[in-house]
């Protein structure tokens, strides 16, 4: 039941038998689109209740506990509330861009799912430039934020959008260097090749200290890129009321809210793929008996387990550290993370050339 690759192959074979190649491909694309939308909806419900339960645990309180068993249906109730809320548009706003911005945010998130391998032989499209594709598409999300802030005709929204633009563009550099470190070690931009390069051990273990440094920098950078606390200067409720989505309500606000959580899932999925082996089980060198036991755990369980572990770590960041000032945030990137990343990439290159990794 956990063999996702077997499910996709059976669907493809059934469509090929029943339809012509062109129609089979069309129906496959429709199924993929519906599946992605369904995944987004489920992730939104799961991650919101997970966030609230984790924050409650960190603060020694109960969290949601009224709707459903132990409050587990609170996200569903919040979704219904947002569905029935009226969506308002400010009088002097640029209505076209104001309404378009949340959809751009969602589309960018959907496109990022394309090369990610959710299980063995199970991904939407195994691009030969998968890592480059992820780096390019992840830059599109900032356009929706700038669009929302400018079109709202609100000073708080505009200030939040400008902060977000500076923040995302800055931290993309460190995130890019961290990803480049794994590309150098794996010798490929294809996601499936990077996962297979970790068959005898994940890069976080066999890449020595430079990969560990890249992993820590990656976590910090993607936390900033997704506008999560302590780097949520784009929203900063205590200063900017809600930042770039101050004027949004109803489902338009819900789309931005959902895009944030889906982006957290995506960046953690990328981190799990690059540093923790993706869907690859935990294999240790020549320990054949141990490796054989690990192979019994389905590949999809490995991927989602690693991804949700990283999501928990990012949530841990949010409920542990206070928000930085904008100058502190930019100093952290340009004076510390970026120089460390540049030196670290030289060390990674040396490790790869000399074959010092396990």
Q: With a cut of 80, say whether residue 236 has pLDDT above it.
A: no
Give the number of domains in the chain: 1
Percent of residues, the chain, with pLDDT higher than 90: 42
Is 20 among the domain residues?
no
Per the prediction, the chain carries an average pLDDT of: 88
pLDDT reported for residue 240: 62
Q: With a cut of 70, say whether residue 238 has pLDDT above it.
A: no
**pLDDT tens digit sequence for 135-184:** 899 888 888 888 998 999 888 888 888 888 888 889 999 999 999 999 99
The whole-angstrom separation of Cα 235 and Cα 326 is 12
Q: With a cut of 60, say whether residue 2 has pLDDT above it.
A: no
Is 108 among the domain residues?
yes
3-state secondary structure of 122: strand
pLDDT reported for residue 237: 63
**pLDDT tens digit sequence for 289-301:** 888 888 888 889 9
Q: With a cut of 80, say whether residue 96 has pLDDT above it.
A: yes
Distance of CA 117 to CAs 199, 212, 273, 303, 326, Å? 15, 22, 8, 8, 35
Is 21 among the domain residues?
no
Q: With a cut of 70, say whether residue 1 has pLDDT above it.
A: no
Q: With a cut of 70, say whether residue 79 has pLDDT above it.
A: yes
pLDDT-based confidence at 340, cuts 50/70/90? very high
**pLDDT tens digit sequence for 172-227:** 999 999 999 999 999 999 999 999 998 888 999 888 899 999 999 999 999 988 88
Is 213 among the domain residues?
yes
3-state secondary structure of 119: strand
**pLDDT tens digit sequence for 10-39:** 888 898 888 888 898 899 999 999 999 999
pLDDT-based confidence at 344, cuts 50/70/90? very high
Assigned token pair, 78: 């919040």
Q: With a cut of 60, say whether residue 80 has pLDDT above it.
A: yes
Nearest to 214 by CA among 204, 228, 206, 199: 204
Domain that residue 237 falls in: 85-354
The whole-angstrom separation of Cα 115 and Cα 112 is 7
The whole-angstrom separation of Cα 352 and Cα 348 is 6
**pLDDT tens digit sequence for 316-334:** 988 888 888 888 888 999 9
Is 10 among the domain residues?
no
The whole-angstrom separation of Cα 326 and Cα 233 is 7
pLDDT reported for residue 77: 92
Is 38 among the domain residues?
no
End-to-end CA distance of the chain: 34
Is 78 among the domain residues?
no
Q: With a cut of 80, say whether residue 358 has pLDDT above it.
A: no
pLDDT reported for residue 356: 79
Is 334 among the domain residues?
yes
The whole-angstrom separation of Cα 225 and Cα 267 is 9
Q: With a cut of 60, say whether residue 56 has pLDDT above it.
A: yes
Average pLDDT over residues 259-272: 93
Q: What is the pTM of this model?
A: 0.92
The whole-angstrom separation of Cα 265 and Cα 21 is 33
């Amino acid at each position: 039941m956990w063999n996702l690759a077997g499910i996709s192959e059976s669907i493809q074979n059934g469509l090929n038998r029943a339809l012509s190649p062109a129609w089979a491909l069309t129906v496959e694309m429709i199924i993929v689109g519906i599946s992605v939308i369904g995944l987004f909806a489920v992730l939104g419900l799961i991650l919101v209740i997970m966030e609230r339960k984790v924050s409650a645990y960190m603060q020694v309180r109960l969290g949601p506990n009224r709707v459903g068993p132990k409050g587990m249906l609170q996200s569903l109730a919040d979704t219904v509330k947002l569905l029935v809320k009226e969506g308002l548009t400010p009088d002097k706003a640029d209505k076209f861009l104001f309404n378009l911005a949340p959809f751009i945010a969602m589309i960018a998130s959907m496109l990022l799912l394309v090369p990610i391998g959710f299980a063995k032989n199970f991904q939407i499209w195994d691009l030969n430039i998968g890592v480059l594709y992820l780096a390019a598409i992840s830059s599109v999300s900032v356009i929706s934020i700038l669009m929302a802030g400018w079109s709202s005709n609100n000073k708080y929204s505009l200030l939040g959008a400008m902060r977000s633009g500076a923040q995302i563009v800055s931290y993309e550099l460190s995130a890019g260097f961290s990803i480049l470190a794994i590309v150098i070690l794996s010798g490929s931009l294809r996601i499936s090749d990077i996962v297979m390069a970790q068959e005898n051990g994940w890069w976080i273990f066999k890449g020595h200290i430079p990969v560990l440094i890249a992993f820590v920098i990656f976590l910090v950078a993607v936390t900033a890129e997704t506008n999560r606390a302590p780097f949520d200067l784009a929203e900063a409720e205590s200063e900017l009321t809600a930042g770039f989505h101050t004027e949004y309500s109803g489902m338009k606000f819900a789309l931005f809210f959902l895009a944030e959580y889906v982006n957290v899932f995506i960046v953690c999925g990328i981190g799990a793929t690059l540093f923790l082996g993706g869907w690859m089980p935990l294999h240790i060198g020549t320990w054949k008996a141990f490796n054989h036991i690990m192979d019994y755990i389905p590949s999809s369980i490995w991927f989602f387990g690693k991804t949700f572990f990283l999501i928990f770590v990012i949530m841990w960041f949010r409920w542990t550290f206070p928000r930085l000032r904008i100058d502190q945030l930019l100093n952290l990137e340009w004076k510390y993370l970026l120089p460390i990343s540049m030196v670290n990439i030289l060390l990674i290159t040396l490790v790869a050339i000399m074959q010092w990794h396990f």
